Amino acid sequence: MKAFVVEKYGKDGVRAAEVPEPTVGDRDVLVKVSAAGINPLDKMVRNGEFKQLLKYKLPFVLGHDVAGVVTRVGSAVRGFEVGDEVYARPRDLRVGGFAEFIAIDVDDVAPKPAPLSLEEAAAVPLVALAAWQVLVERAHVKPGQKVLVHAGAGGLGSTVIQLAKHLGATVATTTNTETEELVRNLGADLVVDYTKEDFSKVLSGYDLVLDSVGGANLEKSLTVLRPGGLAISVVGPPDAAFAKQLGAPAFLGLVMNTLSRKIRKRAKTLGVRYEFFFMEANGAQLRKLGALYDSGKLRPVIDSTFPFDRTLEAMAYVEQGRTKAGKVVVSMVPDND
């Protein structure tokens, strides 16, 4: 089958290749890929940023978001049949959405939300799971709480805005002039145009900040939290809990704590908390999220769609920051541009 594989770590490490179709285990669902979403995580894995923690065996197929049609099920699989339309964020070490077929553990798969096309569904799993795991599992967001999400027009930000509003939070976001109307339509109560003003000068008393920018933006985010408030970053620096989550040796936990020492110390001085976040595959949560897409409480935001044979171009498009809003998707439909 055709696939885009990581042959070596680095910017030029991915190439188109012919590879064997995946082996289908007893608990696997074989999916004929209809579309795959592009995520910043693809670049990070391609560059080897997690190679000490995620022990991929080169070469491997890249791609963390997938939607498609079930073509075979393992002997122990219940609840899925050939012909079912599904979506998934396959678990780490078993990714591979940039291919014609992928075998996915049944626990990671969920039925595609009915109102969404397969291309729209491919944009959903990673960011929707991240939003759910941050807002519901980590931060336990309650009605009336205040949430700030940076880069609200992005794939993750646009999803977090909608889910936080569904949970009853007051939501602020940062974005640029061009996408201000979009984030308001998604439900943002307060929009800070970062090209015109500094969010840390106008916001205060927040229960949660979700940062996807890092650096100085993360440090400033600590200052808008209420005492005891929580800043969560998806771009780092990582902490010991991340190493533990991936089952890494104890010494790597110490390394991670060293990397995040400065920001954790700053948070402690301010009386707030800092955590790094790395999402996990979870089909049961995708079913819950699917119900929200079915009911119209959530909707995907798509920037553009590329044909499958232009997957490398689609990755470059995201990497170069050319995305205006939402997610970029690659489609198996040959004439889709």
- The model's pTM: 0.96
Please write the tens of the pLDDT for every residue from 213-225: 999 999 999 999 9
Kind of pairing between the strands at 65-73 and 60-61: unpaired
What is the arithmetic mean of pLDDT over 25-38?
98
**pLDDT attached to residue 336:** 43
Examine the pLDDT at 43 and tell me if it is beyond 60: yes
DSSP 61: E
**pLDDT attached to residue 236:** 85
Closest CA to 285 of 149, 137, 97: 137
Within its chain, how far is the Cα of 110 from the centroid?
16
E strands, 203-331, are 206-211, 225-233, 273-276, 302-307, 327-331
Tell me the pLDDT band of 335, cut-offs 50, 70 and 90: low
Give me the residue label for tokens 């959903």: 124
What is the arithmetic mean of pLDDT over 206-217?
96
Please write the tens of the pLDDT for every residue from 269-321: 999 999 999 999 999 999 999 999 999 999 999 999 999 999 999 999 999 99
Give me the residue label for tokens 């119900």: 291
Examine the pLDDT at 1 and tell me if it is beyond 60: yes
What is the arithmetic mean of pLDDT over 103-117?
98
What is the arithmetic mean of pLDDT over 22-27?
98
Tell me the pLDDT band of 333, cut-offs 50, 70 and 90: confident
Residue 290 vs residues 69, 113, 123, 217, 297: alpha-carbon distances, Å? 16, 5, 13, 32, 10
Please write the tens of the pLDDT for every residue from 159-195: 999 999 999 999 999 999 999 999 999 999 999 999 9
**pLDDT attached to residue 334:** 67
Task: Report how far residue 248's alpha carbon sits from residue 258's, in angstroms, rounded to the nearest whole number.
Answer: 15
Mean per-residue pLDDT of the chain: 96
